[in-house]
Amino acid sequence: MKFVNYLAYTDNRQLLDEHAPAHKHYVKSLLDAGKLAFGGPFPDGSGGLLVYEVASKEEAESLRDQDPYALAGVFVRSEIKPWLLLAVHPELSKLQ
């Protein structure tokens, strides 16, 4: 099942930049393991959205809590909800 994680980041850009490489490595590991369907930051730098493919909300919370951004305090707010993906436009879902 898919779980959407809507995240807000700290205003501390130094903290965010310092932990960005570890966060990106972690996100890639989730993609490679089939635990992350989509993910990316908002253009204004205020946060991001991750869509996990996991069995439960608890597993999604565990993945969030192991993220280097979470461990460093970059995430100041997180909201995880189950999500039913019902439609995808193939052309619009391509990476930019």
42-76 residue pLDDT tens: 999 999 999 999 999 999 999 999 999 999 999 99
Determine the pLDDT at residue 90: 86
CA angle 18, 13, 52 (to 5 degrees): 75
Per residue in 7-34, pLDDT (tens digit) is 999 999 999 999 999 999 999 999 999 9
pTM to 2 decimal places: 0.92
Query: Which pLDDT value is given to residue 42?
Result: 97
Average pLDDT over residues 88-92: 87
- Rounded to whole angstroms, how far apart are CA atoms 30 and 67? 10
CA–CA separation, 54 vs 34, rounded Å? 9
